[in-house]
Structure 1
Amino acid sequence: MNKKQVPEKILALRKLMKKEELDGFIVTDNLDQFYLGGFYFYPHEAVFLITQTDVFCFTRALYLHDVAARAPFMTTQADEDRLNTAVAKAKALNLRRVGFDAAKEGYASGKVLAQNGFTECASFISKLREVKDAQEIQIIRDACRIAYQAYEYVKPLIKTGMTELDVAAELEKYMRTHGATTTSFFTIVGFGPDTANPHHVTGARKLEAEDAILMDFGCVYNGYCSDITRSWWHGSNEPAEYKTIWHAVDEARKAGIQAIRPGVATRAVDNAARVIINAAGYGEYFNHGTGHGMGMENHETPYNSQESNEVLAEGNIVTVEPGIYLPGKYGVRLEDSLCVSSTGGEILTKK
């Protein structure tokens, strides 16, 4: 890309704007800004006004030097009243119809935009973000590899008496020392009955000599997330019931993966996994969807669930993560992240 060349993602947004007869679009979400411009702003520290010919960026003075060097296609201005300045710029340019993503605006900012006659629009950029290009897929593949290798590194280190927080610290240290900037979400490590809570908050529980383990974690690498869950029995006397639910979840995971391909309804992926768990007699203990989209955020559209009306497309990144949770006893969840390719689902959570 030459110095002033506009990124393809902005060109794609302009096509959607033209289709919707918009001659301007306001972008305030910092991840949408990173997606479009390749520069990371902290939340609420920049406002973009995108037209068919220009990209205006109103931000804090501390960003000016870096933005000029890394995103020279933008016309950047330091301003502490960024939203109102963007509104004034749109009016000065005589833009007839300026859109904004109503779902991503807070009450105050949305009110300002609406009162100035701007148009509430669907989440155009979220829709663009669903389908990853080759560069994005490679970054997510690397993020998933780091997470998987963290699992392989940490699992042999886990010993009776360690706390959940001890294990989480080892996972996070490995991922950071291998290129990750942060975690995709709060790392979940559960022992014993804690594994029966799908969104357990990692704590000080110590691992017993015979105990269930569940680890759900991921990392952010070059701005993109990974997500993986592994469950197993620690000790030599694995309960028969734990074996039963582990194998049921594993078969459900395989069925969900097998269902993934372009053109398949996301609820069909969920159903493929759910049928297996229902047949095993544990349907009431599978209390969440089978997966979610992933990219710059760990949970993005499309969602593999019965509530979704979406259809998978080549370039989507989604998880498959069925689970069975027996309150007060233990739970099992097995999760892989996959890329939807022309031939099916490519598992990314591997070496």
Structure 2
Amino acid sequence: MIESEVKTQTLSDVRTYRLARVQAQLQRHRCPAILLYDPVNIRYATDTSNMQIWTARNPSRYIMVFADGRIVAWEFHRCEHVWQGLDLDVELRSAVSWIYFNAGDQTESRANLWANEILDAFRTHARGESRLAVDRLDPIGTALLVKSGLTLLDGQAMMEDARAIKSAGELVLIGESLRACEKGIERMRRELRPGMTEQALWANLHFENIRHGGEWIETRLLASGDRTNPWMHECSSRVLQEGELLAFDTDMVGPHGYCSDISRTWIVGDARPSDEQRRLYELAWSQVHFNMDILRPGMTFREYSEKAWKIPEPYLKNRYSCVAHGIGMVDEHPSIAHQVDWDSAGYDGRFETGMTLCVESYIGAEGGSQGVKLEQQIVLTEHGCVPLTTCAFETDWL
């Protein structure tokens, strides 16, 4: 097969696999259908994409997937073409938007029209049933469907569980996203120099993502100097200075809608890292690699949290929000709480072969002037973690 044929077959296999995963969740929960508004869930189930960021804020396209694989899709105004070329059993309708932007003072009447269409589609294909899963829905829509006699189930949980295990084809597509992200990181590294702004450096990642067919970047997490502590400063017009730390987290939704989530920390300019910078880096590197080394299929989330690398006391308050988290089209289930946070934020479950995950670290002392952010994206195999990216660490700092 030539490369284009292989890619077409991979996409076809992935589409079939993902829709089957959604169907399996519906069958498992004895639910005849799921109503999806989240653009990422719609992409997962159908591989259609239409203004994903805009429609995430302005609910204007939605689909209903039935347990037998049939789909009713309400598409944005005159955008039926986004469904062309897909081998799906789909009935296309025009979306009814009742958000204030589109409906103004007609919100109530538009919402009633919307509810009638939802009920018509559901009752046509799920005769006698009343259980409908929904991933997200504004209050007026929820109230109208409940008033009509439907019992609404947590569709977001079903979709997260569906998305958790990746097929071989998905790993190929994730790899394409990561290669685009690595190109962006390489470009950032080449362009990095004292005197440029954080924003100017960050633009290089966007450039390579779009150039390679990527889609968007979920955050703006790039910081330098004292803005690296605490973590979670978004990039600014601050000018980079020789010898200071520069840290970033890509959160990049690349080609085919899959996320590349890589964090690295560098030094600005040609300076050698100070003893303090090297110490912070070695601790962060140790946390990531220790936690990768112990992760195995069958381990529970609680067990992993309990066995995870112990953060030294000076850095505990500024710890990252989780030990590790799932990754696919975006950040996904599960999110593994630190042991110290388990009672307030932890939940249990079990790691499985085929999960793709990000192992996290942030090391920065409370009240400190700098910090190190690292993160590695992996796939979990029967033998443990396999890195999905070749993006280098600063091992000469160790």
From 202, 206, 217, the equivalent of 2:250 is 217
From 350, 355, 358, the equivalent of 1:316 is 355
**More deviation in 142-151 or 224-233?**
142-151
The CA deviation string for residues 221-275 of structure 1, in whole angstroms up to 9 with x for no partner, is 2111101111133353533222211101111111011122211223444455441
CA distance in 2, matches of 1:271, 1:288: 16
From 18, 35, 51, the equivalent of 2:66 is 51
Alignment partner, residue 34 of structure 1: 43
* Alignment map for 1:1-351 (pairs within 5 Å): 7-42=16-51, 43=55, 44-53=59-68, 54-80=70-96, 81-93=113-125, 94-101=127-134, 104-122=136-154, 123-183=157-217, 185-220=218-253, 221-234=255-268, 235-236=270-271, 238-275=273-310, 277-278=311-312, 282-297=315-330, 299-306=331-338, 307-326=346-365, 327-350=367-390
Asked if the contact 2:73/2:91 (under 8 Å) is kept, the reply is yes
Q: Secondary structure at the match of 2:364?
A: strand
Q: CA deviation at 1:108?
A: 2.1
Asked if the contact 1:7/1:37 (under 8 Å) is kept, the reply is no
Asked if the contact 2:49/2:82 (under 8 Å) is kept, the reply is no
Letter in 1 for 2:317: E
Asked if the contact 2:25/2:162 (under 8 Å) is kept, the reply is no
CA distance in 2, matches of 1:175, 1:92: 43
CA distance in 1, matches of 2:206, 2:294: 32
Asked if the contact 1:303/1:310 (under 8 Å) is kept, the reply is no
* C-alpha spacing 1:187/1:269, structure 2 compared with 1 (3 Å): farther
Asked if the contact 1:47/1:82 (under 8 Å) is kept, the reply is no
Asked if the contact 2:62/2:95 (under 8 Å) is kept, the reply is no
Letter in 1 for 2:118: A
Q: Secondary structure at the match of 1:200?
A: coil
Q: Secondary structure at the match of 1:152?
A: helix
The CA deviation string for residues 2-37 of structure 1, in whole angstroms up to 9 with x for no partner, is x9xx93433333333333332333223222121111
Asked if the contact 2:31/2:67 (under 8 Å) is kept, the reply is no
TM, length-normalised to structure 2? 0.78
Asked if the contact 1:23/1:95 (under 8 Å) is kept, the reply is no
Alignment partner, residue 110 of structure 2: none
* C-alpha spacing 1:243/1:70, structure 2 compared with 1 (3 Å): same
May I ask how many residue pairs the two structures share in their alignment? Answer: 343
* C-alpha spacing 1:84/1:30, structure 2 compared with 1 (3 Å): farther
TM, length-normalised to structure 1? 0.88
**More deviation in 118-127 or 129-138?**
118-127
CA distance in 1, matches of 2:89, 2:370: 54
The CA deviation string for residues 268-320 of structure 1, in whole angstroms up to 9 with x for no partner, is 44455441x32x753333242122211122x2111132323132111211111
The CA deviation string for residues 36-93 of structure 1, in whole angstroms up to 9 with x for no partner, is 1111244223332333443222233412233254354211122435443021232345
Q: Secondary structure at the match of 1:70?
A: coil
Q: What RMSD, in angstroms, separates the aligned Cα atoms of the two structures?
A: 2.5
* C-alpha spacing 1:167/1:73, structure 2 compared with 1 (3 Å): same
Asked if the contact 2:214/2:257 (under 8 Å) is kept, the reply is no
Asked if the contact 1:98/1:119 (under 8 Å) is kept, the reply is yes
CA distance in 1, matches of 2:151, 2:307: 40
CA distance in 2, matches of 1:40, 1:170: 24
Q: Secondary structure at the match of 1:334?
A: strand
Q: Secondary structure at the match of 2:317?
A: helix
CA distance in 2, matches of 1:322, 1:206: 25
